[in-house]
Amino acid sequence: MGFLKEFKEFAVRGNVMDLAIGVIIGGAFNKIVTALVESVIMPIIGMIIGDVDKFTQLTIGGIKVGALIQATIDFIIIAFVLFLVVKAMNRMKDKKVQEAPPPTKTEVLLEEIRDSLRK
The tens place of each residue's pLDDT in the chain, 119 residues long, gives 688 888 777 767 667 777 777 888 888 888 888 888 778 877 787 777 776 666 677 788 888 888 888 788 878 887 888 788 878 877 877 666 666 778 899 988 889 899 888 87
Give the CA distances from residue 100 to residues 95, 96, 97, 103, in Å, rounded to whole numbers and listed in that order: 12, 11, 9, 9
Residues sharing a CB contact under 8 Å with residue 77, sequence separation 6 or more, in sequence order: 33, 36, 37
3-state secondary structure of 101: coil
Confirm whether pTM is higher than 0.85: no
Give the CA distances from residue 76 to residues 48, 69, 84, 108, 109, in Å, rounded to whole numbers and listed in that order: 20, 10, 12, 53, 57
Rg (CA), the chain: 28
Domains in the chain (CATH in brackets) are: 2-118 (1.10.1200)
Q: How far is CA 50 from the centre of its chain?
A: 35
pLDDT value of residue 95? 66
